[in-house]
Structure formats: C-alpha cells, structure tokens
Chains A and B, each alone.
Chain A
Amino acid sequence: MTEVENPGSGRDAEKLPRAVQTTVRERVGAQSPMTTPEAVSVRLTVNGTRHSLLLDPRTTLLDLLREHLDLTGTKKGCDQGQCGACTMLIDGRRVNSCLTFAVMYDGARITTIEGLAADGALHPLQQAFIDHDAFQCGYCTPGQICSAVGLIAERRATSADDIRELMSGNICRCGAYTNIVAAIQQVMGRS
C-alpha cells in the first residue's frame, strides 16, 4: 500500500494575476471578504492507496476523486443522485458518490472503476461488458460496472428481472440495458 501525503485542498497555490486582483478588489470595495469554510482533515483509502487530505467540507466524494485525485473514471451525470454514473464502492457497498460528502467517510476504503482490474487483468464484469457490448458512449459504464460488482456481492439477484430491478439506479441513455443484463448474468453464472 502506498501513502500519498496531503495533496491539499485543490488548486489554491496559484497566485492571481495582478490585473484580476485589482479588478476584484475594486469591485468589492471596502467590504470584508466572505471566507470559505475551514478545511477538514479526511483520510481515505482509494483503490489501495491511502490519502490524507485537507478539504473544503463541501467537497463531495465524487469531486474529490475527479478534481483532486485525478481519478476521473467515476462519472458525474447529474450531481443529484438520480443517474448512478457516480456509483463507487465504499467498504464494498455501492454508493452514489455525488450525494456523499467526503468528510462523511473518514477512514473508509473506496474502490472505483480504476481499482477493479488487478495487475492489468480486467475484472470479469469489465470483460463481460466488452464481450456483450454493454455500452455505447461509455459514460455510464464505470457506474454500471461498480453497481454490478455491488449487486453481485449483495446476493439478492437470482433472475434477469431481479437484475433489471436492482440495476435501475444506473441510467444508460444509449439504451444498452439488455446487454448490461446479459453481461451481469454471464458473471453471476460463473460466481
């Protein structure tokens, strides 16, 4: 396991161009600035790598990964918990990371799409999605696959109808649903 030291709360190290600073200050006038909330310390293990972070408490788990850790495999499709594109596994459970503040999961172990393939070998679901053409544009795919990993671990689905119902939190606008069900069935049949 590798340890990554505090990457900080984002891109605050940059100094503003002088021209811009002046403009903003002139327009704000004598009023005092409104400060951002105090940074909060969060420790997370993401795909086996430990991170110690200082974060704006408003940072969602999804934005933490995409904007701070450059793990852009997890997708943002609505930011409202409606589409499932941001599904990742937190301590093995599938979760909509856009509705989840990072500070809520201090100490958690997170698996994203980037963490499913082991030593370059695809996870069986990743291979099954390719085999069955279970995607087109690919944007919902990481969420679908993480959701399917969670689904199989839950052991609640025993039929195609169960899969359809329990995968209905993950929207695919390209309409690859029949192929998604076939891919998941292929892996469930094996496990």
Chain B
Amino acid sequence: MAHYIGTPTSRVDGFAKVTGAAKYAAEFNVPGLVYGSVVTSTIAKGRIARIDLSAALRVEGVLDVLTHENRPTMADNDQAYKDDVAPAGSPFRPLYDGRIMFSGQPIALVVAQTSEIARFAASLVRVDYETDTHITDVHCQREAAIPLKPPGDPIEAMFTPPKTRGRPEQALAAAAVRHAGEYYVPIEHHNPMELFASTVIYDGDGKLTVYDKTQGVQNVQHYLCRVFGMKPEDVRVMSPFVGGAFGSGLRPQFQVVLAVLAARALRRSVRVVLTRPQMYVLGYRPAMIQLIELGANADGTLDAIMHDAITVTSRYEDFFRQETGWSGLLYKCANAGYKHKLARLDLATPCDMRAPSATTALFALESAMDELAVALNLDPLELRLRCYSERDQHNDLPFSSKALRECYRQGATAFGWDKRNPEARSMRDAGDLVGWGMATGVWEALQMPITVRIALSANGHAEVACATSDIGTGSYTIMAQVAADMLGLPLENISINLGDSSLPQSPVEGGSWIAASVSNGIATTADAIRDELLRLAKQMPGSPLANIASGEVTLADGKLISKGDASRSVSITDAMRHAAVDRIEQEKTYNPSNDVTRAHNTHSAIFAEVKVDEQIGVIRVTRVVSAIAAGRILNTKTASSQILGGVVWGIGMALHEETLIDHKVGRIMNANIAEYHVPVNADIHDIKVIFVDEPDDSNPLGIKGLGEIGIVGVAAAIANAVYHATGKRVRDLPITLDKLRL
C-alpha cells in the first residue's frame, strides 16, 4: 500500500533543521569539555627536525600539546589504519611519526580549556623541518605516471579499466570521421558547509561516545577500535545529523583520531573542530588529464572509442575509480580501448567526491561527443540517439531498465531543443551570446547488504533503527515513508534512529546505494513484523484471519487485512493486546540479489542554456533541464532537491571550482570558501528536474538511488552550450573568462 512512497513528502527532520534543534558533531556540550586546536605542517615533504612546544605550554589554560614525540600508543601496522573503504597502500597515520607527506599535515594538537586559548597557543608551536623536494603538479608527472597494477581484490577489479573490446586502434584509423581531444579537470574540494569536527565524551570508566562528522559511524568505530586497541563496546560513534559530506566523510578523518588521542591522554572530554583551510587535506576529487579519441561512420554511428586517463594520487595510497570505463559503457560501439595511469604527488590521498570518476570522465566524453557532432554536422542529440545502446557494451548484457531515450525526449521537449539554431554564435539575447548544449549522464544502481530493526508498539507506533546516515540526502524521510507504507501506519507514528554505531549494520552512505538498500531492508523487516502480528492474530478466538497464509495479508490503516477479502481484518492494537504483547521487535538483513545477468544503471539527459556577455565574457547558466531515469522515486520533493543540488555542483564544476596549488611550496593557495569558488545564490537560475517513468525489478521496491546521477554530465552540457554561444571550445575546467578570450 503506497500512501507515502512516491509522494512529495516534506522532510521529517525539517522542524529540527529550521529551528536549530538538529545537533551536529561539534554541538554536543558536556561539563568539563576541553578544546583541541590542530597545528599543521608548512612544508609538503620532509621531516620534523625539532618541534618546540615551550611557548605554547606556557600559555595559561593549556592542558597539553600532543605530538608524534609524546603521544600515547597507537597501532603500528597499516592494517589497523585501513578503514572499510581504504584504497590500496599505507594509510596516513596522524601524529604517528615525524615524516611529512603533504602540506597541511597535522603535526600537533594543542589542548586547552577554551577554544580561544587552544587556538592562540597553537600559533606558538615552533617547528623546524628537514625539507625534501616535492612535486605537486600533475603536469610535471605525466611522463612518470604509472599504469594501474592488476587488481588485488574484487573492489579494485571494479575500478580497473575494462578489457579492450575489438580492435580500437585499427577502427579509429579507418573511421570516416575522427575526433581527438585532451580534457582536463582540476582538483576540486567537497567543501561541505559543516566543519569537520569530533566531540569525544569521556565516560568515567574509559568508555567513549564519539560525535563525529562521518558518512559511516560503524566504519569510524571499527577504525578507532583497531587504531587504539579498544573493544567495540567501549566506543560508540554517533552522527545524528551531518552537515553535508559528498564523499569527504566516507573515511575516518584525522580530527577524530586526534580528539580520541587527547581524550585518552587527558582522560576527559575533548572537542576538535578543524578550520576551513585545514579541511583541504581531507581528500579531494583527483585532477584528471584525459585523452578521448572517437571514430565514427559517416552516418553518425560510433566505431571506435579510446579513453586514456592520468589521475592524481598520493605517494602513500593508490586511489582510483573506474575513470575510463564509462566511455565504453554508454554508447554502442564495437571497438573500445582504455588506459589509466596514476600520477603520484606529494599531496594527501584523494577520495570519492560526488559521482567519483563518472563526473570527470563524462565531462570529457560528452564534450568529445559534442565535438564529433560538429564534425559530422549532426545535431548533438541526434548523434546520441544514433549511438544509443540497448545493451551494456562491456559485457553485452541487457539493462534491468534504461529509460534514457525517454529522458532525451522529455528533456528536449521541456527545454525547447527543437528551436536550436545549430550554428555556433548564431543565437543572441540583447548583448548576450546565447548557447544551448546538452549531454548524457550515467551512474550505477548499486545495493548493499543492510540490517534494519523495527520495534512496533501496541499503540501503533514504530521505531526503525539502522546505523546508516542522513548527510542531507533525506534518509530520515524516505525511511519513514517506506516504514509507514510497509507497516500500514501514519507517517507521524514512525520514528527513525540512525547515525549510531550501536544500531544494526549499515554500509557507509555513499555510491547512491543507501535508498535502495535501506528501503528494501525496512520492507524485509516489516514483513517479519507482519508475520509475527499474523501469528498473534490467529490466536484470537474466532479470528477472521484464522486460516490465512502470511503472503495473503497486508498491513494497512493500522490493521492486518486479507488481500483477498478486505472485510477480514484485525487491528494491530487488538492482536497485540489480546496476546498481552506491548512490543514486537524484529531485526532482519536484506541481502540484495547478485544479478549478474543484467546491467544496473541510472541515466540522465541534461540540457543547458548559457548567456555570455560578449564584451567581458561573463557566463551565466540561465536554464537547465535535467531529465532523470532512476527507477522508482520514493519522494519527489527530496529527490528533486538531490538533482537540483547535483546540477548546482555541475555548474560549479563547469564555471567556478578549482583548487589552486602553489607548486613552489606545494601548498594549496585557495584553501577557503571565498577563494575556492562555489556557486552562490546569484549564480543559480532556472533549473527544471524531470523524473521519467522507469519500472525496475532489480529489488522488490524498484529503487535505483539518486545521490550521484544529478551532477554527471552537467559540466559537459554547459561547456557545450558555451561552445554553441561563442564558438570557443574550452577543454580544461573551469571555464573562466580568460579561457574564453572573446
């Protein structure tokens, strides 16, 4: 019964968020709390020769200064520091030794009675370094970039380029029309609004409650247990609200290590809040140099795709994703080849950032497709339709569902694409050049095993518990909607518990997999609740459900109702009261079926309008239509917001976002939210989101997930619109005024 699923339900945590009642990691205040301020390295590579704490320690109110020289014991093996989503390599260990591996590396924690004192004292820590030569510029490492190693495990195998298909070199050489282009996406940073923070509450018996900014409370808990040799029952990690993360909170970050270190050293509660500049070493979208080569037949069908990529990683871990494979997946093409190399730099390890790899790869591929359309003298949308693939090109499998054609149709109609003059620089609005561009987006529809506990009370209230997160994605709300429908209760009778490591198992919140996983987890557990209620109802004298099988009843309107005969029903309250039961509790694990016979993806079509001031080159994105095919949409209101957010990120990627490094000193120059430009309100104009109908049976509820698909392809659609407006093709992001040179 779907009263709530599919409706535009307002967020159930909305009241808490608009009144300031929602508490984030740095907002749990306890008596005796003390404050840590982090000192960071000013060199990019080398070692600490001498660290002088005397001035800092003289400051009244300073309790201690922790460094690699005086810190309490921490684990001494890589395995302990490898969190659930760590890439291959040797993870960074905060305050472990005197080695410096990146500028901005934490090297000391000043703990004091107030944050003002801690911050002042941190400025007094004096450090002498022995400096080594560093390299932070990916362009200097092009020649030294190393090919990916053969995958060491199934996760790495997922990210290794697919096998070559056909004979791409020969097909390219023989193609009627060819296009080759090099595309560049710089390092970008997540910049969630909430500062990374941890508040560690030290209980008298040494147990810790850790309020942490994270996308995975259990990942952090497991990590802390290994690093500090603690038992799981001694560490509880909580994150009831997370002020955005976008991938930056997937791995445990160093502030939680420092806060726990200090709490254990001082035996008291400690809060560590990073500054905005300090957050720039927590991970980033790796810069990517890509060469795309396309070979097409004269009729606009593709015959060859080659995608070579160089991506950035650190010296100590090999971070990479499936950067090149998207090119071979999206379009029908008999011949495809891929190369992926890593450029090791003296920077912190990159990490996942909204639609990792697809966002960067599709900027290149979809820009290249636009260039091919120009070369073929074809409408860019028509080219996509001629290359449309009904099957997964890597493994020649059908899709579980693929309504991309409908995205193209509905998106183009809503945008008015048929009124586009194909000529570049042909459309104007007063003094502005007008450009229309489009692109395709693709992401994976993933699911993970997850466990959900539901406790139903005789008064018809239910508590749903799972250790997942809500990083702004709307988990609280969709979980309540699904539970209300599955249990046949009003939405207000459902309470959701999440963001607590003591709750039933959940994977980290990433990859767009939580909505499908947790919703089906709720449905699975709700079925167990229903079965238990039926067992109780059957015990009632003269029960109207006496001879009915569990699959033949449903929960609706607070009752167990026969599917075949709605007049046969027992209310939840009656069934439980009669059995003298106040509470029914069930905990079940949802194990998604491993369906390898079909490909599972979400798709999108993005249409963008830009207006470019011909005199000074200012670009405004005046209209975007994003048509999404992502299975069943649980909540059209919050889902729409997810896509709007993705489009805003795509606008930022296209026009604003770039992390700039002073390569001479190896330090990020714009490590703040004013000089690292993110879109502000004045940058954002009309955005229309369309969800096309896409029934899918990959899981019982038909859900695919939405967190990533909204951003994929947006930057290319805008870059293509800029070309259409100006006749200038900009292949390195962001498209700033200087690159247009009108």
Contacts and interface: CB of A to CB of B under 8 A. Distances in A.
Contacts of B273: 76
A17 B268 contact: yes
A136 B64 CA distance: 38
Given A114-B19, A168-B682, A72 B27 contact: yes
B684 interface: yes
B135 to A, nearest CB: 30
Contact of B115 (A31, A63, A113, A130): A63
Interface string B676-697: 0011111011110000000000
Interface string B169-208: 0000000000000000000001111110000000000000
Nearest to A71: B20
A140 B193 contact: yes
Given A12-B61, A14-B113, A141-B17, A133 B638 contact: yes
B33 interface: yes
Interface of A is mostly: loop
Contacts of B10: 130-131, 133
A80 interface: yes
A76 B119 CA distance: 16
A188 interface: no
A173 B11 contact: no
Interface in B551-602: none
A139 to B, nearest CB: 3
B681 A167 contact: yes
Nearest to A19: B267
Interface in B682-732: 682, 684-687
A74 B53 CA distance: 34
B640 interface: yes
B266 A20 contact: yes
B64 A78 contact: no
Nearest to B15: A130
Nearest to B20: A73
Contacts of B244: 136-137, 139, 173-174
B215 to A, nearest CB: 11
Contacts of A117: 19
Contacts of A191: none
B20 A11 contact: no
B17 A138 contact: yes
B471 to A, nearest CB: 6
Interface in B16-53: 16-24, 26-27, 29, 31-34, 53
B584 to A, nearest CB: 32
A2 interface: no
Contact of B195 (A77, A165, A179): A77
B58 interface: yes
Contacts of B641: 133, 136, 174, 176, 179
Interface string A56-73: 101100010011001111
A79 B126 CA distance: 24
Given A72-B23, A73-B21, A133-B637, A17 B267 contact: yes
B115 A67 contact: yes
B546 to A, nearest CB: 46
Given A33-B58, A82-B674, A175-B644, A24 B63 contact: yes
Interface string A1-37: 0000000011110101100100110011101111110
A170 interface: yes
Contact of A80 (B29, B59, B672): B672
B27 A145 contact: no
B20 A72 contact: yes
A83 interface: yes
B644 A178 contact: yes
Interface in B518-540: none
B672 A78 contact: yes
Contacts of A66: 26-27
B645 interface: yes
Contacts of A141: 17-18
Contacts of B20: 71-74, 112-114, 142
Interface stretch (B322-330, B376-384, B646-654): B646-654
A180 interface: yes
B413 interface: no
Given A32-B58, A36-B59, A173 B193 contact: yes
Contacts of B648: 175, 177
Nearest to A161: B682
Chain A CB within 10 Å, residue with most, of B13, B20, B63, B120: B20
Contacts, number: 235
Contacts of B617: none
Interface in B663-682: 672-674, 678-682
Interface in B465-496: 471-474
B534 to A, nearest CB: 37
Interface in B61-82: 61-64
A12 B120 CA distance: 17
Given A75-B194, A136-B244, A176 B644 contact: yes
Contact of B678 (A75, A85, A163, A171): A171
B114 A126 contact: no
Nearest to B710: A175
Most A Cβ at <10 Å: residue of B33, B62, B114: B114
Given A58-B120, A72-B29, A80-B276, A27 B53 contact: yes
A98 B283 CA distance: 26
A172 interface: yes
A139 B243 contact: yes
A171 B679 CA distance: 8
A79 B241 contact: no
B543 interface: no
Contacts of B14: 129-130, 135
Contacts of A10: 113-114
Contacts of A104: none
A122 interface: yes
B640 A133 contact: yes
A181 interface: yes
B19 A180 contact: no
Closest 7 CB pairs of A and B: A73-B20, A175-B648, A137-B472, A139-B243, A138-B17, A136-B472, A175-B645
10 contacts: A9-B114, A34-B60, A35-B60, A73-B21, A77-B673, A114-B19, A136-B641, A173-B191, A173-B246, A175-B679
Given A20-B63, A34-B60, A76-B195, 20 more contacts: A17-B266, A17-B268, A20-B266, A28-B54, A63-B115, A76-B26, A79-B195, A85-B193, A130-B11, A135-B14, A137-B192, A139-B192, A139-B244, A141-B18, A165-B681, A167-B681, A168-B682, A169-B680, A174-B193, A177-B648
